[in-house]
Amino acid sequence: MRQNARTADGFELQLANLLFTSELPRRLTVAGSGVLASAAHRGYASTNLQFHNGRVIDLLGAVGNRLIAQDERAGALPTLYAAAADIPGNSLAGPGGFMEQRGAPKLVGRSRAAQDSDVARRLWDVSEELTGVRLPLGATAAA
């Protein structure tokens, strides 16, 4: 069954971002670049980004934000950690607490789907074809 656009916007875009951030370090390395690329996720942070349906789910989300979620400052910490800490390229930073939804930032794992290097390479290539935009790393980066 095909997921609706609302569901696709969440999980499929997160997977695509993780695939891109695994393919980018590979291409940078092949090109001889010293640039590191990593990814981060905020876990469950109390922001106004989750719910805008004007329905019961918004009310439930507001209750969840108040009782379970970490505050927006704690939600920003994994991104800061990924940007400023001395971590290896192709890393994923996220909250280190229960189910990676809250807590101090640390390196966390990726799903099996987000580790598929063949899919990551294909997604990158198709994205370049569809957009006409190429990362200027030289011809050896695509090898």
| Whole-number pLDDT of residue 10 | 63
Cα gap 58→36, rounded to integer Å: 38
pLDDT mean values, one per 10 residues, the chain (143 residues): 42 89 93 92 82 71 80 94 95 94 95 95 96 78 48
Confidence (pTM) = 0.78
Question: In what side-by-side order are the strands of the sheet with 92-95?
Answer: 39-40, 92-95, 105-107
Domains of the chain, start order: 5-142 (3.40.50.720)
Cα gap 70→31, rounded to integer Å: 40
